[in-house]
Amino acid sequence: MLALIVWHGIGSWSRLDAVLQNMHRARAINGLPDAIAVPYDIGDPKSYETAELLRGHTALAAHNIQSRDIVIKASKRELGDELGRSLPKWLTTLTGEPLIDALLAAARIAHHLNTHLLCGW
């Protein structure tokens, strides 16, 4: 999960939740040995299928979940509590929803800065 936020740059809970819940459906992409696609549905009321393209370390972590056919269904609080227990206390004391919200906000900020730097801000 941390790889999806930090390396891949997912910045919203709805997108992260959709990717996690559909990780077991991930498929390799022909011609890209370091990539997998995680399909999921977006849209309301009419639904469309899209896919998150994961590469490198993030794809490797996702493949580990996909190969075991694990369906991840957990709340933001549950995921944040689990992640908080795995992080060193000197790094953060946040857990639960506040930890996930902080990480997602950091991903959005990084994406915003990266976009402006690439465009010659």
- 81-120: per-residue pLDDT in tens? 999 999 999 999 999 999 999 999 998 888 778 777 777 6
* pTM exceeds cut of 0.85: no
Structurally, how many domains does the chain consist of?
1
How much is the average pLDDT of 73-85? 92
**Looking at residue 82, what is its pLDDT?**
92
Q: Is-contact 62 99, C-beta < 8 A? A: no
Q: Which domain holds residue 64?
A: 2-118
The sheet carrying 27-29 orders its strands as 27-29, 32-42, 48-55
Residues of the chain with pLDDT > 70, as a percent, come to 97
